[in-house]
Chain A
Amino acid sequence: MAMDINDKHRLKNRLLKAGHLIALFIAMCIICVPGLWVVVNSFRPTVEIMAKPPVWIPTEFNLDHYRAMFGAVGEGGIPVVRYFTNSLIISVTSTLIALLVGMAGGYAFARYRFKGKAAIFVGMMLTRAVPGIALSLPLFIVFARVGIIDTHFGLILAYVAMNVPFTIWLIDGFFRQVPKELAEAAEIDGCTRWQAFWKVEFPVAKAGIASAGIFAFLTSWNEYALASQLTRSVNSKTMPVGLLDFTSEFTLNWGGMSALAVVMIIPALILTFIVQKHLIAGLTFGGVKG
């Protein structure tokens, strides 16, 4: 009898596990298929992309779209390298600034008591409630007056403003998890306040700060609404805006768009991967008990 019951449970567990795996597979398919479709399309001839009914299994792979994209203007080429460097400069700079401000602000919120703390915090969160696109016209007018339309500086400024409330909020949460006794122990061990921060609190919260960094970077890297208003030429156009170069009055160059999208996705993937491997993997807790 006992065996029967055990067998029954074993069978039930196996079925449950299989069910989980199948559900997971379906969910992953739904999440991944659009991305995969973009990648696949970037290697397929336009005819096949446009075919009706769709060709599910690609029959021919080539690099035509990439060749064209990197090729001369007029033959379907666009200034990919310029767009890429613009994107990189703007995203990296705005991320670094947002992280620095976020660390300063997050630390202050986590560690110090000051007047109006709660109100400032709520106010900052409220700025996140305003949709970026609603700001694009006022921003455009102000930027135009000041003369920073179509500059790296303009976009960096906009992205920093966009990311800072979020980085502060995230980093505040991570510093809160670092017991304040750690910094105190460091101070007693001979550190100045400043050293205690950099040698103890920062390394312990590093993983969290890095995740805030990834988030800020991806937001800037993929942002379209503001960038499309605040940039106009190769001086400052970022890749998401560059995608529009593939639309013309009567046609959409899907293959080219996919190729550029792949060029956009790859650095983001690499970055996320590196940061995750090096920082998140080393999540460091357990220095205190109680």
Chain B
Amino acid sequence: MANVKLKNVVKNYGSLEVVHGINLDVDHNEFVVFVGPSGCGKSTTLRMIAGLEKISGGEISIGDRVVNELPPRARNISMVFQNYALYPHMTVRENLGFTLRIAKKPQSEIDQAVAEASAILSLDPYLDRRPGELSGGQRQRVAMGRAIVRHPDIFLFDEPLSNLDAKLRAQMRVEIKKLHQKVQTTIIYVTHDQVEAMTLADRIVIMRDGYIEQQGTPLEVFEKPVNTFVATFIGSPPMNLLHGRADNSGKNITLDDGVNVAMPSRLAGKYADKDIIFGFRADNIMPVGHTLPQGDESVEIDMTVTLTEPLGAETLLFGEIGGTQVQAKMLNPRIVKPGEKLTFQIDLEKCHVFDAQSEMVLD
């Protein structure tokens, strides 16, 4: 059993507070991904869990032990670093076996564990090479192998794929997911790539400026973002956000350029006379005739296409509503010329309304 609990965890560097009282429960065997823009404190939080960074306040427990003051070696964790941090003076074999050698395990046990890890990650051809003689992807696998050999309670990953090219990254993503199914261990994974977060996580933790903005399953954070930050951070392309105002009946919204749309019916009448932000994803605004089957509620809106991005099965259309750029999707695409004016359908059921002041979702 290795769940991880963070209670009001704070980190300061001198007078600068970079993590502000984080609360988080990670269950046994859960795959949790920290995601957020650069500098938001993901690595710092991970390093505090690892014991590489002292915590300035609060409490971290692993299993049922409070580990605040324990050194990394006493926490039974493994960590894969962004730059891999392989021991350059040792062969791959020695790198893999290092932790067991330190633990003074018998040689036969070390050999067996190394062989096992090497088989899982197909490292056999490289066992006698030094890290300097491996490619980036191979180094990355060795770093993962070194983490597996330890049979830790928790795996910690700090952006392990960010040095790889796109194809290799997709491949390693699958490897990591398989690994999780195979070794059945708690994993905490840091990335700033929301695709990685969506595809890997059981639960996503979205951080900004040292605060947790939202946590939940990938679908939850995608479908029910609590604020505009999460709405634009998760999902690709980012959610379209338009400023507007709810009228005094609370049933209509006037967008900045005077376009009127209906308030989604679940919110109708609840917020009258209020500045709001109207949000919808590209998947929910599509040109008439190229849409998904529509729900009961939809509105039509005219927009001039300024740019297109054909992706094959669909085409991304860029346009402007009230001076704000909007991205729309076109299914079964036909060729669209920039400057063409199309009528789009917005699926109101899938739209989000945020408070313009606090940027928090209204529901």
User: Interface residues, chain A, CB within 8 Å of chain B?
Assistant: 179, 181-182, 184-193, 195, 199-200, 203-204, 206, 282, 284-290
Least CB distance, B222 to chain A, in whole angstroms: 30
Residue B227, interface by CB 8 Å: no
Indicate which residue in A182, A190, A193, A206 contacts B85 across the interface (CB closer than 8 Å). Answer: A182
Residue B86, interface by CB 8 Å: yes
Does B83 lie within 8 Å of A189, measured CB to CB? Answer: no
Least CB distance, B123 to chain A, in whole angstroms: 16
Indicate which residue in B50, B84, B87, B102 contacts A289 across the interface (CB closer than 8 Å). Answer: B84
Does A184 lie within 8 Å of B52, measured CB to CB? Answer: yes
What are the residues of chain A within 8 A of B50 when measuring CB–CB?
Answer: 184, 188
Residue B313, interface by CB 8 Å: no
Can you list the 7 inter-chain pairs with the closest CB atoms, starting with the nearest? Answer: A286-B132, A287-B88, A181-B85, A189-B99, A288-B83, A185-B85, A190-B102
Residue B238, interface by CB 8 Å: no
Least CB distance, B147 to chain A, in whole angstroms: 9
Alpha-carbon gap, A25 to B308, bound state (A): 66
Alpha-carbon gap, A195 to B103, bound state (A): 12
Alpha-carbon gap, A184 to B87, bound state (A): 11
Alpha-carbon gap, A192 to B85, bound state (A): 17
Least CB distance, A69 to chain B, in whole angstroms: 44
Indicate which residue in A179, A187, A204, A288 contacts B89 across the interface (CB closer than 8 Å). Answer: A204
Does B83 lie within 8 Å of A284, measured CB to CB? Answer: no
Alpha-carbon gap, A188 to B72, bound state (A): 5
User: Given A204-B89, A286-B131, do A187 and B136 touch, yes or no (CB 8 Å)?
Assistant: no
Residue B98, interface by CB 8 Å: yes
What are the residues of chain B within 8 A of A179 when measuring CB–CB?
Answer: 83, 85
Residue B118, interface by CB 8 Å: no
B: number of interface residues (CB 8 Å): 32
Indicate which residue in A187, A193, A200, A282 contacts B87 across the interface (CB closer than 8 Å). Answer: A200
Does B79 lie within 8 Å of A289, measured CB to CB? Answer: no
Does B86 lie within 8 Å of A288, measured CB to CB? Answer: yes
User: Given A188-B72, A192-B73, do A287 and B131 touch, yes or no (CB 8 Å)?
Assistant: yes
Alpha-carbon gap, A176 to B5, bound state (A): 35
Residue B82, interface by CB 8 Å: yes
Per-residue interface assignment for chain B, residues 126 to 167, with 1 indicating a CB less than 8 Å from any chain A CB and 0 otherwise: 000011110010010000001000100000000000110000
Indicate which residue in B87, B103, B132 contacts A182 across the interface (CB closer than 8 Å). Answer: B87
Given contact pairs A179-B85, A188-B52, A188-B72, enumerate 13 new A-B contacts (beta carbons under 8 Å): A186-B87, A187-B71, A188-B73, A188-B79, A189-B98, A189-B102, A189-B146, A199-B102, A287-B86, A287-B87, A288-B85, A288-B86, A289-B84
Does A190 lie within 8 Å of B83, measured CB to CB? Answer: no
User: Given A284-B130, A285-B132, A289-B139, do A189 and B150 touch, yes or no (CB 8 Å)?
Assistant: yes
Does A287 lie within 8 Å of B132, measured CB to CB? Answer: yes
Alpha-carbon gap, A186 to B94, bound state (A): 13
User: Given A182-B87, A286-B88, do A190 and B132 touch, yes or no (CB 8 Å)?
Assistant: no
Least CB distance, B165 to chain A, in whole angstroms: 12
Identify which of residues 51-93 in chain B touch chain A, using a CB-to-CB cut-off of 8 Å: 51-52, 71-73, 77-79, 81-89
Alpha-carbon gap, A68 to B136, bound state (A): 64
Does B87 lie within 8 Å of A190, measured CB to CB? Answer: no
Least CB distance, B16 to chain A, in whole angstroms: 14
What are the residues of chain B within 8 A of A181 when measuring CB–CB?
Answer: 81, 83, 85
Does A290 lie within 8 Å of B83, measured CB to CB? Answer: yes
Does B83 lie within 8 Å of A191, measured CB to CB? Answer: no
Alpha-carbon gap, A187 to B77, bound state (A): 10
Alpha-carbon gap, A195 to B84, bound state (A): 20
